[in-house]
């Protein structure tokens, strides 16, 4: 496996996208973090032209409490969802594994546990520096962490046998671009597993789920995290305005994957997708 820069090693690359980070910091200077997601932008979060930079600022803000909030708000089911995704990927000891939009590295660690004592490190990439710093602190030497945008992955074609992404694809600025990048860096026969929130189909369950996610969860998550960015108001809005399972499956096929299947979890509140590169 190699990077596009042919550095010979994948690591936390603080120079990648440096110009964009400088511009982002300058844009954020003097701006109240609570304005990352306001009511106007939450009305249609996926159509914001600067969605990517807003998502990055949001995750930098909530990184210190991200895993704790996920565990509490999902009643611990988030770990079970990740284990299901890893099992579907059928990861082997010799597989090169990439976790896209890895956040604090919880999916990467689940891959490592399933793969056992393999010598090859698992690679995790994310565009949030603060999330990557949390991942680095909580992991051993068998991981490489790389700061990179999922829409411009700094890896060579056909590099990974397994690629995972947990609750990240709906945050992409351009979904099709991100899926095309996953396809590009996947090896022939490579498995891509994606976990994403979805709206339950059954009306009663959907009503209860959306009452929790739009009314109760944002309050509890904000108290636990001290968040001022609007992250936990963005979450339910980004779910209800995102693709359903059939639409997501169609987009994966359009990206070039020859075999795509999905499995609803927890009454359809989460869906895991498996896509194979031909």
CA-based nearest residue to 1, from 114, 135, 98? 98
pLDDT of residue 35: 61
Q: What is the arrangement of strands in the sheet containing 259-265, beginning at the earlier edge strand? A: 143-147, 122-126, 97-100, 160-166, 186-197, 270-276, 259-265
Please count the other Cβ atoms lying within 10 Å of the Cβ belonging to residue 38. Answer: 12
Cα 48 to Cα 113: distance, rounded to the nearest angstrom: 37
Which residues lie below 8 Å from residue 151, measured CB to CB, with a gap of 6+?
52, 172, 173, 174, 177, 178, 181
Pair 94, 116: CB distance under 8 Å: no
Please count the other Cβ atoms lying within 10 Å of the Cβ belonging to residue 157. Answer: 10
Residue 166, pLDDT above cutoff 80: yes
pLDDT tens digits along 20-44: 343 334 333 334 444 698 888 998 9
Mean pLDDT of 116-145: 90
pLDDT of residue 235: 87
Q: Which residues pair with 165 in a beta bridge?
A: 194
Q: Model confidence at 70, in pLDDT bands (50, 70, 90)?
A: very high
Q: What are phi and psi of 139, to 5 degrees?
A: -130, 165
The residue assigned the tokens 């596009």 is 4
103 dihedral zone (left: phi>0; alpha: psi -120 to 50; beta) = left
């Amino acid at each position: 496996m190699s990077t596009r820069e042919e550095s010979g090693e994948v690591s936390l690359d603080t120079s990648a996208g440096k110009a964009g980070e400088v511009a982002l910091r300058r844009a954020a200077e003097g701006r109240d973090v609570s304005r990352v997601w306001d009511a106007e932008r939450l009305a249609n979060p996926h159509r914001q032209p600067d969605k990517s930079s807003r998502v990055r600022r949001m995750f930098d803000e909530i990184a210190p409490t991200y895993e704790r909030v996920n565990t509490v708000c999902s009643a611990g089911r988030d770990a079970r969802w990740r284990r299901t995704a890893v099992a579907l990927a059928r990861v082997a000891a010799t597989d090169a594994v990439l976790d896209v939009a890895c956040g604090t590295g919880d999916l990467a660690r689940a891959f490592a546990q399933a793969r056992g004592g393999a010598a090859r490190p698992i690679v995790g990439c994310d565009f949030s520096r603060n999330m990557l710093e949390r991942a680095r602190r909580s992991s051993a030497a068998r991981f490489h962490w790389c700061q990179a945008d999922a829409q411009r992955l700094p890896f060579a074609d056909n590099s990974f046998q397994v690629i995972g992404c947990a609750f990240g694809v709906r945050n992409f600025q351009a979904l099709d671009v991100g899926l095309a990048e996953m396809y590009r860096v996947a090896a022939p026969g490579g498995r891509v597993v994606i976990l994403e929130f979805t709206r339950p189909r059954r009306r009663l369950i959907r009503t209860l789920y959306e009452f929790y996610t739009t009314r109760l969860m944002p309050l509890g998550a904000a108290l636990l995290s001290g968040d001022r960015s609007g992250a936990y108001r963005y979450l339910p809005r980004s779910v209800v305005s995102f693709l359903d399972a059939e639409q997501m499956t169609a987009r994966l096929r359009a990206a070039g994957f020859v075999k795509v299947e999905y499995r609803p979890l927890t009454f359809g509140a989460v869906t895991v997708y498996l896509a194979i590169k031909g």
